[in-house]
Amino acid sequence: MPIRKAANKPEGNGDRGKQSPLSAALEDTVEQVRSRLGNSPDLVIRNYKSIINEVPIAALYINAITDKNLVDAFVEQAMAFEFPGEGVAIPSAPEDIYSYMKDKAVSTGKEKVIEDLNSLLEALLSGDTVLLVDGIAEALSGMTSGGESRAISEAATQVSIRGSKEAFTEGLGTNIALVRRRIKSPDLWLETMTVGRVTRTDMTMMYMHGLADEGAVQNLRDKLKAIDADSILESGYIEQLLEENRFSPFPTLYNTERPDSVAGNLLEGRIALLIDGTPFALILPATFFVFMHTVEDYYQRYDISTMIRVLRLICLVISLFGPAIFVAALNFHQEMIPTPLLINLASQREGVPFPTFIEALMMEFTFEIIREAGIRMPSPIGQTVSIIGGLVLGQAAVQAGIVSPAMVIVVSLTGICSFTTPAFNMALSIRVLRFGIMFAGAFMGLYGIAIVGLMLVAHMCSLRSLGVPYMSPIAPFAPGDQKDVLVRIPLHFMKTRPRLTRNKQGKRQPGPDAS
């Protein structure tokens, strides 16, 4: 869905930018609301009369996005008038009744005064309940948002063997509570803002005061305020709008649906963005190694975590360069292959009508089609299609003499290795780059692969995420931060936070620094 920029009007969409004051006549205001909402059937209007002088009062809310219990409690508390003592004048004028409701009856701490029609509509569409008093050109709104929502469940895309099974939901308040439950500190600061001129999406910036760099926080705050789009439907919109290098294949913002992952990154001095309507939070600054680490690395012993990290990096290299090296070796560098293996490969390719590069390209496209079909289909059917499709097509292609058995093994191994990358968006980037490296290997051999590899490393070293170098702490090299990059030393010796993200409190634990 495209994001449209504003043309001339800063608020877009008709007269949204105009501040239309409320009418003192209750019926006129109600009619304006009905007209602006197109006589929507989910607009609920409750009519009351005050017990003092029977002044007309109306309560307005949207049926599907409010909690009925909160609505009833808000209205009941606002209408709970108390008669004054003997000898005290009873407030009977609409102004007195409204002032009583605003200053005394409404004491929830979540109410606000509305003076224009656009603010009233925004409050309604955010799930608030609005109270109107006849004869008063103002309204009272109370926070009553709720309605049906998805319960907290296990993470679907970032599964872990050990650790929390809770995942974010589409409710912003629920997601904030999940993080608050893990970090019970007054230094966890939140800033809420609204983005999207039409969708009016709520978003919360979350960071640890004293740990996050103040310059990075202000930089991000300015970038978020500068976003001018009509719709923000998912965190992916924010991710694309915040990218510093929009033509880079590598992601520079980390997304996660795990509250413990957000908590861990906040305690390292990073900033989290929680967007209403999506279960994925954004973390920045994000370096390359953030995408290769998981929270489960810190729940296991250091030796186990180190072995798994090294395994992931090996699989990353295989998934990126595997088919390209195989094609380059068969086309240009046969002398590098042991003679028995070369004879075996040559015998397998006897009768195959396509060059090695075309053969690899066909198999890679086929594997990508099967993987995409498995993702988009229902879970039980998708798994069956992926397994059966891969086995049947691979075996049939070999028997038909279209591809060689060795090529099926290489492509299958490459596809399996790509699943070991923890971050899905990084795995997607590797899948795209694999085809470009295959072209280089097919036309220039290992020299082409080396040239493209050096170009990728140089490009990654030039990237920045919120001012932090993408390849840190390798480039620039930070000796004190090497204890949690390629390997993970025991937690007893991890006494400092990352140098490039910490601000004042660099110590995790008391005692001398092991670095």
pLDDT tens for the chain, 515 residues: list them: 444 444 333 343 444 445 788 888 889 999 999 999 888 888 999 998 877 778 888 999 998 888 888 888 888 877 776 655 444 455 567 887 787 777 665 555 567 888 889 889 988 988 889 999 888 888 888 888 877 777 888 887 888 888 888 899 988 888 999 999 999 989 999 999 989 888 889 999 999 988 888 889 999 999 999 998 898 999 999 999 999 888 899 999 999 999 999 999 999 889 999 999 899 999 999 999 999 998 888 888 999 999 999 999 999 999 999 999 999 999 999 888 899 988 988 888 888 888 999 999 988 888 888 888 777 777 666 666 666 677 777 778 888 888 888 888 898 899 889 889 999 999 999 999 999 999 999 999 999 999 999 999 999 999 999 889 999 888 888 887 888 888 888 888 887 777 766 555 666 665 544 44
| Length reported for the chain | 515
Going 263 to 269 to 274 to 278, the CA torsion angle's sign is negative
Given a contact cutoff of 8 angstroms between Cβ atoms, the answer to whether 78 and 101 are in contact is yes
Q: What share of the chain is helix, strand, coil (3-state, %, to 5)?
A: 45, 15, 40
Q: Crossing angle of helices 424-462/356-376, nearest 10°?
A: 130
Question: Degrees (nearest 5) of the Cα angle 384, 390, 393?
Answer: 120
pTM for this entry: 0.82
What are the distances in angstroms from CA 44 to CA 37, 79, 98, 106, 161?
12, 18, 21, 21, 47
- How is the chain split into domains, by residue range? 26-142, 172-286, 302-469
End-to-end CA distance of the chain: 48
What are the distances in angstroms from CA 23 to CA 45, 115, 122, 123, 162?
17, 9, 17, 17, 59
Which residues, in sequence order, are bridge partners of residue 114?
139
Q: Which of 50, 164, 38, 30 is nearest to 99 (CA)?
A: 50
What are the distances in angstroms from CA 167 to CA 159, 163, 208, 277, 280?
10, 11, 21, 14, 9
